[in-house]
Amino acid sequence: MGIVTADIGISLDGFAAGPNQSLEQPMGEGVDGRLHTWMFEYADAHTEEIDAITAAGAYVMGRNMFGPVRHEWPAPGEPLGDWAGWWGDEPPYHAPVFVLTHYEREPLELTGTTFIFVTDGIHSAVDQARALAGDADVSIAGGAETLNQALWAGVVDELRLHIVPITLGAGERVFDRVPSLDMQLVRERVTPEVAHLTYRVLH
């Protein structure tokens, strides 16, 4: 059986997104693309890390990471009623994605993946992801609140932080309200764009 991993890009002061994420500002107010520039502009220099992110057999993500809707899902024909997530018709996820939400929604099938909406919490989402992943890893894809829930629940085996040399000052912070954790550094790689730090979470 695989392990549960978590990858997240953060600023030096620990934020994975700015405040007030919206359709117009998906990364939050005051945040440009620098948190993830290394994945696109410098992709060749970070192939190992990108391959590790996309190699999971199933994913778990929060509703904010799927899209900007914070309430009941709009009906087809209403604004955002046909919303297929931030990722477009061909998402980078090539395995099932379990989306944490308080509101039920039918699974959404897109090219290479299916988004499955889970209303009964992080443990249920991870258990369902494990069942479909088989021997492959399950990845907690973010955002910060979902990662924090997973760390609090004790389901993360390996945490991969991608630390970008900027500060944000406010927003969605990793480790916010998470109890004390013991971790062991198992890999590190530093480039001018980002420091990749991989920790084993000691349960």
Which has the higher per-residue pLDDT, 40 or 197? 197
Mean pLDDT of 179-202: 96
Compute φ and ψ for 132, nearest 5 degrees: -85, -25
Q: What are 138-176's pLDDT values in tens digits?
A: 999 989 999 999 999 999 999 999 999 999 999 999 999
We report the CATH number of the domain holding residue 63 as 3.40.430.10
Number of domains making up the chain: 1
Name the residue among 170, 135, 141 with its Cα closest to residue 63.
141
How many whole angstroms separate alpha carbon 152 and alpha carbon 41? Answer: 34
How many whole angstroms separate alpha carbon 148 and alpha carbon 140? Answer: 10
| pLDDT reported for residue 86 | 75
| pLDDT reported for residue 28 | 74
**33 inside domain:** no
**32 inside domain:** no
Residue 135's SS3 state is coil
Q: Evaluate if residue 196 carries a pLDDT over 90.
A: yes
Name the residue among 143, 194, 117 with its Cα closest to residue 19.
143
**135 inside domain:** yes
| pLDDT reported for residue 6 | 97
Residue recorded with tokens 């991969």: 160
Q: What does the block give as tokens for 89?
A: 């018709």
| pLDDT reported for residue 65 | 86
**115 inside domain:** yes
**119 inside domain:** yes
- Residue spans of beta strands (DSSP E) within the chain: 4-11, 15-17, 58-62, 97-100, 108-110, 113-118, 138-142, 158-164, 172-173, 183-190, 195-201
**61 inside domain:** yes
| pLDDT reported for residue 80 | 66
12: Cβ–Cβ under 8 A, 6 or more apart, which residues?
163, 164, 165, 166, 167
What residue numbers bound the domain in which 134 lies?
1-8+56-68+87-141
**46 inside domain:** no
Q: What are 43-102's pLDDT values in tens digits?
A: 899 999 999 988 999 999 998 888 776 778 777 777 766 767 777 778 888 999 999 999
**133 inside domain:** yes
